[in-house]
Amino acid sequence: YRKRSGPARVVMRARRTRPGRVCRSRTFGGCAVTHESPSSRVFPQVNSTVRVLMLMENCGYPDDMRVLMESRSLHAAGYRVVVICAASNSRPFFENLDGVRIYRYPKPWELGGLIGYLIEYAYSLVVTFALSLWVLARHGFDVLHSRVPPDVYVFLAYFYKLLGKRFVAHLQDSSPDLY
């Protein structure tokens, strides 16, 4: 049993609930007992002022399906989502796609080798930091969500932790950093 908002409301998780099924509530001695549907566990009710800034370096926003689905899910749950990513396929600098604000910067050069990676990541870090300051001043954010690799956005996390922001490092592909 979990206690919900209100003094006499108790929520009981029901394992028998099928996805998409609307659950019924019953009253026992003044306490409303409801079966929690799976969709309420996936999309908890949140305040609409929770703002998430998602950072990407390797590819553009609608091109990466995992980040696209994550941002759409967050938006459907009531979060305000802003994405900063590299531009691809001649996309505009700013776009509002399905309620998700997207800021893009020119894609870094593909130089290759160790020096090329250092230049690419340093460029992406500086430009992303400048855009994140713009987003902080214009829209604000509460959570910084970074898609890693690359791990260079951890430096941004240290800065924003001083301002009280939360940081989520989302590891998607571990193999590029292993060789």
pLDDT tens, the chain, 179 aa long:
444 554 444 444 444 444 444 444 444 444 344 444 444 444 455 555 789 999 988 777 878 888 889 999 999 988 999 999 888 767 888 989 888 999 999 887 777 788 888 888 889 899 999 999 999 999 999 999 988 776 788 888 899 999 999 998 887 766 655 55
User: Beta-carbon neighbour count of residue 119 at 10 Å?
Assistant: 14
pLDDT at residue 65, as a whole number:
84
Question: 58: part of which helix (H) or strand (E)?
Answer: none
Tokens of 54: 């998602």
Q: What is the number of H-type helices and E-type strands within the chain?
A: 4, 10
Closest by CA to 13, choosing from 43, 42, 33, is 33
pLDDT at residue 166, as a whole number:
92
- Across-strand partners of 25? 34
> Which own/partner contact pairs does 85-92 have at CB distance under 8 Å and 24+ positions apart?
85/55, 85/56, 85/57, 85/59, 85/60, 85/61, 86/56, 86/57, 86/58, 86/59, 86/60, 86/124, 87/60, 88/59, 88/60, 88/63, 89/60, 89/63, 91/60
Longest CA–CA span in the chain (Å) reads 71
Question: Could you tell me the pTM of the whole model?
Answer: 0.68
Sheet arrangement for strand 80-86: 94-97, 100-105, 80-86, 51-55, 143-148, 166-171
Interior/surface letters 24-44, b for 16+ CB within 10 angstroms, e for the rest: eeeeeeeeebbbebeeeeeee
